[in-house]
Amino acid sequence: MNTLTTLSDLRAARLSLKGTVGLVPTMGYLHEGHLSLIRQAKAECDHVIVTIFVNPTQFGPSEDLSKYPRDLERDLNLISPLGVDIVWNPTAEVMYPTGYQTWVEVEAMTQPLEGSMRPGHFKGVTTVVAKLFNATQPDKAYFGQKDAQQAAVIRQMVRDLNFPLEVMICPTTREADGLAMSSRNKYLSEAERKAAVVLFRSLSAAKELYESGERDAEKIRGKMKEILASEPLAQTQYVSCADYDTLAELNEIKGKALLSMAVFLGKTRLIDNFILG
């Protein structure tokens, strides 16, 4: 396993890889969800590149960039048994040198949901992902369904900009009680951690309603809100039942739909989602 920081070292190492390459872009502080992406990449590609970079441009000024958890040694120990060829861990100066001034933006699809709560977030995401794609030239790139809008936005960017690669969206990995794994779960107090299962419970209840035949999106959203409201430690930021492809909010569920939500447990903001249909 080759751990590199500069772009020129990465380029040289990439050139030496023959056959197909899978990319798993991460912000580090890896959990089982990341490891499942790496295992899937390893199963489907001849070589695997993992990137670890806490991307400053996708954090808003009032967000948790400075306290976002980092532990490179721990990450490398977790990756080490998985047969990864290259770990690229660039500095912010490598990614955004003095004079940096180029941005990639996806428009309509970044407006609702996370985009409306986190202005500029997706501009940072699409820019850094475009840079990572060009730097690593993967055949397949692996992302988690946990960040549902990010997955949709990256699929759109790849289609629109003709990136010669396949975007692989992998199922959300969950704790035993259903909580979606996230590096931000470490911020939770014991009480908040217990309460956090309410996201999964509300998504499950909405899915049950859907499976019983309900297609009125407002009733589905209502069910999620009702269950979230029953948890005193949870503050709902948004709840959505949207078209899976366009992320436009639905009145009636006809095709594939995305249920999603952002909820504060104390100061910690968690997101989760289910796909219907």
Distance from C-alpha of 155 to C-alpha of 169, rounded to nearest angstrom: 9
Structure tokens at 135: 């730097």
Is 131 among the residues that bind a second copy (CB under 8 A)? yes
- The binding track of 148-167 with respect to a second copy, each residue x by CB under 8 A or -, is --------xx--xxxxx---
Is 101 among the residues that bind a second copy (CB under 8 A)? yes
Distance from C-alpha of 199 to C-alpha of 174, rounded to nearest angstrom: 12
Q: In the bound complex, what is the minimum distance in angstroms from residue 12's beta carbon to a second copy?
A: 12
Length of the chain: 277
Burial pattern 146-155, b for ≥16 Cβ within 10 A else e, equals: bbbbbbbbbb
Distance from C-alpha of 156 to C-alpha of 92, rounded to nearest angstrom: 26
Kindly compute the dihedral angle of the four CA atoms of residues 114, 120, 125, 127, in this order, to the nearest 10 degrees.
150
Burial pattern 264-277, b for ≥16 Cβ within 10 A else e, equals: ebeebbbbbbbbbe
* Of 25-33, 103-111, 174-182, 231-239: span binding a second copy (CB under 8 A): 103-111
Is 130 among the residues that bind a second copy (CB under 8 A)? yes
Q: Is 34 a catalytic residue?
A: yes
Pick from 107, 218, 226, 252: which binds a second copy (CB under 8 A)?
107
Pick from 32, 46, 105, 208: which binds a second copy (CB under 8 A)?
105
31, 34, 47, 121: which one is catalytic?
A: 34
* Of 95-103, 183-191, 212-220, 249-257: span binding a second copy (CB under 8 A): 95-103
Structure tokens at 225: 């809100």
Is 103 among the residues that bind a second copy (CB under 8 A)? yes
Mind telling me the catalytic residues?
A: 34
Could you list the residues that contact a second copy (CB under 8 A)?
A: 7, 11, 99-109, 126-127, 130-131, 134-135, 137, 156-157, 160-164, 246
